Structure 1
Amino acid sequence: MLYAFELSGEHEELPAAEVLACLKIEELDFKPFIRVDQCLVVDIAGREEEIERTLTCTITERLAMTHHILKVVGIAENSPEAILELAEAFEPEGYIKEGESFVVRAKRIKHHVDFPCEYLEQKIGGCIYRKGFRANLKNADVEFRLILSEKAVLGTLISSVDRSAYEARTPQNKPFFHPGVLMPRVARALTNLSGIKPGELFLDPFCGTAGILVEAGLVGAKVVGIDAQEKLVLGAYMNLEAYELDYFLMEGDACRIPLKDYTIDAVVTDPPYGRSAAILASSLEELYSGALSEIQRVLKPGGIAVVVSDKASVEYGEKAGLKVLEIYVQRVHRSLTRIITIFQKDED
């Protein structure tokens, strides 16, 4: 069965990568089907009820860079004629039940089409009406959603991500605020990319005010945070307490992590880069080298480490024995570009 993820436009690659990571975390049997601008379609095998229960509950609650999840009716070329042909041909069974009402919504992605959405909403609605179903624009039982990107993807809405929850957790809204931290949606996406599962141990050795730890804790991880500044550790304590999470904090040096070898399931961290910060190392190069060596040591075999920097941390990670899986570039503003590197520790 095909499912479409209507992605946010925050980054060209991260939203799709986050979806695939979450599907892997939930151990679904899937493979990517097609990816177009701000839409990823995946083919998921298994019992439909179980798949949709996982998508609408666990995965919807985890995702940060997705707007909606659809059960795909069909994919067509991006022309009114092809889209209406698809709408005329589809069989309602499995998408809308007898007696249910419907509404049609179309979403145009950037400038991939130049025809009006309202026209297609009306025409697709007419096709569904002629199949014996009634429209209800205000309180429909089923929403048919059309994504107009390089291809046209038609499906029924099965869930929507509550992105307002992330806005409620912006740094300024937490008990302790310190500038220069990741926004919650980015922190959650990176947490998901680490593959962390509920009950597993998650480390941020440069935890600051616990923005990343909060997002990991909210998906059920047991979180461990370290920071060199006592003030930030106290702030992290205040923020983690506010969400009643399972955590352990310490003031310390990321180059000398007081944890045993092979104890941590996943790491996500945003070390100091190009900004004033109290560090115990004599230089940022020494800090990165020492911290990545320690991250490699405490990670379990096969564990993922996601490291954010303003320059490639690849050389330090590789010298420490970590394998580079992916590198993503995120331009924050004119003077700041983040390099997000996904490392993995060898299974052996």
Structure 2
Amino acid sequence: MLYAFELSGEHEELPAAEVLACLKIEGLDFQPHSRVDQCLVVDIAGREEDVEKTLAGSVTGRLAMTHHILKVVGITENNPDAVLKLAEAFEPEGYIIEGESFVVRAKRIKHHVDFPCEYLEQKIGGCIYRKGFRANLKNPDVEFRLILSEKAVLGTLLSSVDRSAYEARTPQNKPFFHPGVLMPRVARALTNLSEIKTGELFLDPFCGTAGILVEAGLVGARVIGIDAQEKLVLGAHMNLEAYELDYLLMEGDACRIPLKDSTINAVVTDPPYGRSAAILAGSLEELYSGALEEIHRVLKPGGIAVVVSDKASFEYGEKAGLKVLEIYVQRVHRSLTRIITIFRKDMEQNYSES
């Protein structure tokens, strides 16, 4: 069955990558089907009831850079004739049942179409009405959504991501605030890209005020944070306590992590940038090199590390023995471009004596 993820426009690649990571975390059997601007369509196998329960529950609860998840009715060209042909042809079974009411909402993505959404909403509504269903604009049982991008994707709304919850967790709204931290939606997306699962150990060796740790903790990870500054560790403690999370915090050096080898399931971290950063190493180069060596050491084989930087951290990661999976570039403002590098620690080979 095809499902569409209506993505935010915060980044060209991160929202789709986050969706695929969440589907993998939840153990769904899926294949990417197609991708257009701000919409990813995925083919998910399995019993529909079980798949949709997972999508509407744990997947929706984890996602940060998605607006809605749709059960796809069809995909067609982004012109009125093609869309109305699709609406006339579709069979209601599996999307709306007898006695249910409906509404039609259309979303135009950027400049991909130049006709009004209201026209298609009315016409599609007429098609569905003629199939024996009644419209209800205020409190419908089923919402049909039309995404108008390079293609037109028509589906029924399965779930919506509560993005307001991330706004409620902005740094200024937490008990302890310090400038220069990642916003919650970005922190959650990077946490999801690490593929951390409920109950697993998650490390941020440059935890600051615990913005990343909070997001990891809220998806059920057991979080460990390290920072070189005592005041930030105390602030991180305040923020983690506010959300009643399972955590351990330490004041210390990311180049000398006091953890055993191969004990951490995933790492997400946002090391300091610039010359003014308070660091224990002699230079940022030494800091990146030493920290990535330690991240490689403490990660379990197959574990993922997500590192945010303003420089090419992949060089230090590769030298440490980590494999680069992806590199994403995010322009924050004129003077800051984030480079997000996804690393994996290779699986260790077991050799037996012959």
Bin of the TM-score, shorter chain as denominator length: over 0.9
Q: Secondary structure at the match of 1:51?
A: helix
Q: CA deviation digits over 1:11-33, x for unaligned, max 9?
A: 00000000000000001000000
Q: CA deviation digits over 1:228-287, x for unaligned, max 9?
A: 000000000000000000000000000000000000000000000126321100000000
| Mean Cα deviation higher: 288-297 or 271-280 | 271-280
Q: Secondary structure at the match of 2:256?
A: coil
1:180: Cα distance to partner? 0.1
**2:315, 2:4 → 1: CA distance?**
37
1:200: Cα distance to partner? 0.1
Partner of 2:175: 175
Partner of 2:15: 15
**1:21, 1:275 → 2: CA distance?**
34
Q: CA deviation digits over 1:143-168, x for unaligned, max 9?
A: 00000000000000010000000000
Answer yes or no: is 1:264 the counterpart of 2:264.
Answer: yes
Q: CA deviation digits over 1:178-234, x for unaligned, max 9?
A: 000000000000000000000000000000000000000000000000000000000
Provide the TM-score with structure 1 as the length reference.
Answer: 0.99
Partner of 1:233: 233
**1:315, 1:118 → 2: CA distance?**
51
**Identity across the alignment (%):** 90
**1:227, 1:20 → 2: CA distance?**
31
1:110: Cα distance to partner? 0.0
Provide the TM-score with structure 2 as the length reference.
Answer: 0.97
Q: CA deviation digits over 1:19-71, x for unaligned, max 9?
A: 00000000100000000000000000000000000000000000000000000
Q: CA deviation digits over 1:80-132, x for unaligned, max 9?
A: 00000000000000000100000000000000000110000000000000000
Q: Secondary structure at the match of 1:319?
A: helix
Q: Secondary structure at the match of 2:297?
A: helix
Q: Secondary structure at the match of 2:21?
A: helix
**2:110, 2:55 → 1: CA distance?**
26
Unaligned regions of 5+ residues in structure 2, if any?
A: 347-352
Q: CA deviation digits over 1:283-329, x for unaligned, max 9?
A: 00000000000000000000000000001101100000000000000
What is the correspondence of 1:161-240 to structure 2 with a 5 Å cutoff? 161-240=161-240
**2:274, 2:110 → 1: CA distance?**
34
What root-mean-square deviation, in Å, do the aligned CA atoms of Structure 1 and Structure 2 show? 1.5
Q: Structure 1 pair 40/275, CA: closer, same or farther in 2 (3 Å)?
A: farther
**1:153, 1:274 → 2: CA distance?**
44
Q: Secondary structure at the match of 1:106?
A: strand
**1:9, 1:315 → 2: CA distance?**
29
| Mean Cα deviation higher: 275-284 or 28-37 | 275-284
1:4: Cα distance to partner? 0.2
**2:275, 2:73 → 1: CA distance?**
49
Unaligned regions of 5+ residues in structure 1, if any?
A: none
**1:90, 1:235 → 2: CA distance?**
55
**1:273, 1:321 → 2: CA distance?**
23
Partner of 1:68: 68
Q: Secondary structure at the match of 1:202?
A: strand
Q: Secondary structure at the match of 2:195?
A: coil
Partner of 2:251: 251
**2:287, 2:276 → 1: CA distance?**
14
Q: Secondary structure at the match of 1:226?
A: strand
**1:235, 1:118 → 2: CA distance?**
49
Q: Secondary structure at the match of 2:126?
A: helix
**1:198, 1:339 → 2: CA distance?**
27
**1:196, 1:89 → 2: CA distance?**
42
**2:169, 2:253 → 1: CA distance?**
27
Q: Structure 1 pair 226/121, CA: closer, same or farther in 2 (3 Å)?
A: same
Corresponding pairs, count: 348
Q: Secondary structure at the match of 1:290?
A: helix
Q: Secondary structure at the match of 2:273?
A: coil
Q: Secondary structure at the match of 1:178?
A: coil
Q: Secondary structure at the match of 2:233?
A: helix
**1:71, 1:276 → 2: CA distance?**
50
Q: Secondary structure at the match of 2:33?
A: strand
Answer yes or no: is 1:37 the counterpart of 2:37.
Answer: yes
